Structure 1
Amino acid sequence: MAIAAVTAISAAHEATVAAALGQAPGVRLVRRCADVADLLAICTAGRADVALVSADFNGLDGSAIGPLREAGVGIVGVHQPGVEEQQRVLQQWGVRTQLPIGAAPAEFAQAVQGVAEGATSKATAPDASDDPTVSLEAELAALSDGSAPYVPVNPWLEQSAALPMPPAPASPEQTAKIVTVWGPPGAPGRTVLAVNLAAEAARLGVPTVLVDADTYAASVAQHLALLDEAPGVAAATRLADSGHLDVRSLAAVAPEVTTGLRVLTGLPRADRWPEVRDDALEAVLEQCRQLGRLIVVDVAAPLEQDEELSYDTAAPRRNAATLAALDAADTVIAIGSADPVGLQRLVRGLDELRAVISEPPKVVANRVRSSAVGSSPEQRVGEALQRFAGVASPALIPDDRDAFDGALLAGRVLAEHAPGSAARKVIAALAADLTGVAATSRRSWFTSRARS
């Protein structure tokens, strides 16, 4: 039985590919798609086994590739011979099987057969020279000895040698860790913890990336006194969708606010949430692993799966960013406010959270104070979480409103504004535990930022 194939190729080369497929043994060309909507319609209807796509097909991006895979359609990338940019875009979309336009019909047949069976054809798999990771490592090596200038190849970025160079990718023995900070509704302190946790990790000498993925009320930029007219997370996800996200382009939209700490600012308006799709955010977080050894992600509270929209796989989902960040996390921190209302929300929220993550979260109780729970507040909060949520040994952050308020007013973190704060010491200990780096008494690297 012939394999049903469809094409989504730019107009200049579509006829050439269609002619080759017409002569390919065992392949039946059922549709030459005019646009992305046509491509998605025929593939999601189950009328195609394999789609042949080109990076320059009008409207095609990473968000359209996901529904094709979910529909069980194999994907073959087609590119102009020798055009590495098109090969790189296809690679970033996850299209591993690629062929140059003008390949022989037998090669098309072999590639289509390979992806249809769920296996990559050895004859069409890109070699190491087409791997953007390998190319990046080679470029970084050349740059390190001054033998080659840095010239960005990303069309989203200005062609300027002044862009900062990112660090070399982490070695296998230094695998980056993603920590997602979540908490139930009611402002339990998710962003405060995420910001200060990232700052403390950077202070320990661990390159850190802070990502504001809260699509309801992003505020990382405000906590650090950063401008957010051009949100970094939106720019990064656009780059991922277009297939142009790499370490250099990510470094350009995630500036280093101080030594060792890069920040992807969040959406300034909640109505822009469709810009941050789950598949694009997952790609961004994976690239963040190349920029730092610790990635701290601040997310919103809602965990609903948007079941009403689940039948429509192409529709954006309101809580997709939160769910994607939780799914990608190596460690999830669940933070709640240490008062009767906040603890009740935390206990109930932990039940919902455990339904969407595989490993138990690390629980933090914030603003622990006797005025809210009575005498011996640490003991009372610990007993309540143990009894009602089965949480043993939660991290307890004491209430230090003056320190937090002063830091927010100044646009600084606790390590800068109130280094002796009791709350800061708990967060620093948590950062040391997550990074495996013991805190030292050396002079703070925040001095340079404090003087600026």
Structure 2
Amino acid sequence: MNPGLLTAGNGQSWENDLVAALDRPGSGMSVVRRCVDIADVLTAATTGQASVVVVSAGLRRLDTDALQRLAAAGVAVVGIYPATDPRVKVRLERIGIVHCIADDVGATAVLAAARAAVLRLATGPVAAGADLAGGDLVGGTAVAQLGVADPRFALASADQAPETGIPALARSDPPPRGRVVAIWGPVGSPGRTMLASNLGVEWAEAGTPTLLIDADVYGGVLASAFGLLDESPGLAGACRQAANGRLDLAELTRLVWAIGANLRLLTGITRADRWPELRPSAIPSVLAVARSMAPLTVVDCGFCLEADEEITFDTSAPRRNGATLAVLADADVVVVVGTADPPGMERLIRGLAELRDVLPEARPLVVLNRLRRTAASADEASSALARFAGLQVAAVLPEDRAATDKAWVQGVPLSEAAPGSPLRKAVRDLAGSLSRMGALAPTSAVPR
């Protein structure tokens, strides 16, 4: 590992003490640069001379975007917060800084945290649980040498790490987390918003508190589906707060609309040119708070999965579809909707291939929308999907323009506009089948 270290402390006493300690022989690490701002930190990180940066919590523009770029450069981060204000530590942890140290603990503790941060970035959080106060950055304890990929880690006892006297990390069951359902579909308006809004309504009416999120970067219309004039910050505001570590349950509650007793709505962007406001690096933090707000979160995603912005830029580039990719990667259930006609099936099959390339581990549930006898039967559409995509159809929704037109004109869900329509009944059956599958039950798994 590279023993280089960067600092960005604006000349605070802890930075001076750390630099002085690393100037002594045998420290095991060396200061590459004392940076003046986050731009200086990012520039120095790209040189490959440092493996960790120690930053002050007061550094301007220290957010999730900056941390994402540092991680891509292979540079770990340690945050220093004022000992007199522990709330700052919470903000640092929210933006993704795991190793946070008070500014009065001394250079030895900061150096130990820097070693732990580097090890965590290189080998994962399990090996980073070891005590790294002693030893150098390259050598050190046996647990650091093994890493989490070593098979001997699997042979360790429950109470002790392999070949060390280091106690294993304490295990506790975290509280149940809500589930995230992403609604995605290929180009061609297959009915993503219709399905997302009405699934959310059906689950809410069944007694499950549900949060709807409009994450369509090409211009979402979930607000219009409920007759709202969207002038609220919505998801863009939540991303801004999350990027700076200030999004909590109270703040998210302030940003959402209350549609009913069990239904909340976080609106999206009304103009396509506002897509940079939906930061991909902030999406996981927004969804993490959403999981604590409601047992179910339904996200309406954009159609495009391309990620070729990085090819056309020599430096880190903005990613228009990054928010969509971030939602799909974080979702517990991915529902893919396509139209049951020849052009729609072609787009659906190609879209599923793109989704498989982007997220190989995803197991999408396919819904065929707008089924009509003049285009194809349910059996024909299902057999085509099985033949060309190797997937089974989870549900088939009939064409019902009268019901959907009435719902959009009135700004109400199908359960109010056309409660007895075949489309509403099919959506309700789909919501019930997904609930019975157990895929929507809260989980106590450790957050990804």
* TM-score interval, normalised by the smaller of the two chains: 0.7 to 0.9
Q: Note if contact 1:191-1:219 (Cα within 8 Å) is conserved in structure 2.
A: yes
**Cα shift at 1:336:** 0.8
Name the CA shift for 1:123/1:96 in 2 (closer, same or farther; >3 Å): farther
**Cα shift at 1:122:** 5.9
Q: Which residue of 2 aligns with 1:381?
A: 381
Q: Distance in 1 between matches of 2:437 and 2:272?
A: 36
CA deviations over 1:298-344 (Å, ceiling 9, x no partner): 11111112154476563220110111111111111111112221111
Q: Distance in 2 between matches of 1:413 and 1:38?
A: 51
CA deviations over 1:401-420 (Å, ceiling 9, x no partner): 11111011111101111111
Q: Which residue of 2 aligns with 1:164?
A: none
- Alignment partner for residue 367 of structure 2, among 361, 364, 367? 364
Q: Which residue of 2 aligns with 1:4?
A: 4
Residue 205 of structure 1 aligns to a residue whose secondary structure is coil
Q: Distance in 1 between matches of 2:13 and 2:178?
A: 45
**Cα shift at 1:230:** 2.5
Q: Note if contact 1:195-1:210 (Cα within 8 Å) is conserved in structure 2.
A: yes
Q: Distance in 2 between matches of 1:88 and 1:253?
A: 20
**Cα shift at 1:176:** 1.8
Q: Which amino acid aligns with 1:348?
A: R
Q: Which residue of 2 aligns with 1:434?
A: 434
Residue 72 of structure 1 aligns to a residue whose secondary structure is coil
Residue 117 of structure 1 aligns to a residue whose secondary structure is helix
- Alignment partner for residue 17 of structure 1, among 15, 19, 22? 15
Q: Distance in 2 between matches of 1:2 and 1:265?
A: 45
**Cα shift at 1:282:** 1.4
**Cα shift at 1:102:** 3.2
Q: Distance in 2 between matches of 1:268 and 1:341?
A: 28
**Cα shift at 1:172:** 5.4
**Cα shift at 1:72:** 1.7
Residue 306 (str. 1) matches residue 304 (str. 2):
no
Residue 332 of structure 1 aligns to a residue whose secondary structure is strand
Q: Note if contact 1:67-1:313 (Cα within 8 Å) is conserved in structure 2.
A: no
CA deviations over 1:339-391 (Å, ceiling 9, x no partner): 22111111221111222221331111111112333xxx223322332333333
User: How big is the alpha-carbon RMSD for the aligned residues of Structure 1 and Structure 2?
Assistant: 2.3
Q: Which residue of 2 aligns with 1:69?
A: 71
**Cα shift at 1:436:** 3.2
Q: Which residue of 2 aligns with 1:145?
A: none
Q: Note if contact 1:2-1:26 (Cα within 8 Å) is conserved in structure 2.
A: no
**Cα shift at 1:255:** 2.6
CA deviations over 1:133-158 (Å, ceiling 9, x no partner): xxxxxxxxxxxxxxxxxxxxxxxxxx
Q: Distance in 2 between matches of 1:3 and 1:90?
A: 24
CA deviations over 1:31-51 (Å, ceiling 9, x no partner): 121121111011122121211
- Alignment partner for residue 95 of structure 1, among 94, 97, 103? 97
Q: Distance in 2 between matches of 1:15 and 1:2?
A: 25
Q: Which residue of 1 aligns with 2:398?
A: 398
Name the CA shift for 1:298/1:36 in 2 (closer, same or farther; >3 Å): same
Q: Note if contact 1:281-1:321 (Cα within 8 Å) is conserved in structure 2.
A: yes
Q: Which residue of 2 aligns with 1:47?
A: 49
- The correspondence of residues 32-431 of structure 1 with structure 2, limited to 5 A, is 32-118=34-120, 119=128, 174-306=176-308, 308-309=310-311, 314-357=316-359, 358-373=361-376, 377-431=377-431
Q: Distance in 1 between matches of 2:426 and 2:350?
A: 25
Structure 2 unaligned blocks of 5 or more: 121-127, 134-172, 439-448
**Cα shift at 1:270:** 0.7
CA deviations over 1:151-170 (Å, ceiling 9, x no partner): xxxxxxxxxxxxxxxxxxxx
Q: Distance in 2 between matches of 1:263 and 1:37?
A: 36
Q: Distance in 2 between matches of 1:386 and 1:211?
A: 31
Q: Identical aligned pairs, as a percentage?
A: 41
Q: Distance in 2 between matches of 1:354 and 1:410?
A: 38
Name the CA shift for 1:175/1:16 in 2 (closer, same or farther; >3 Å): closer
**Cα shift at 1:433:** 2.4
**Cα shift at 1:174:** 4.4
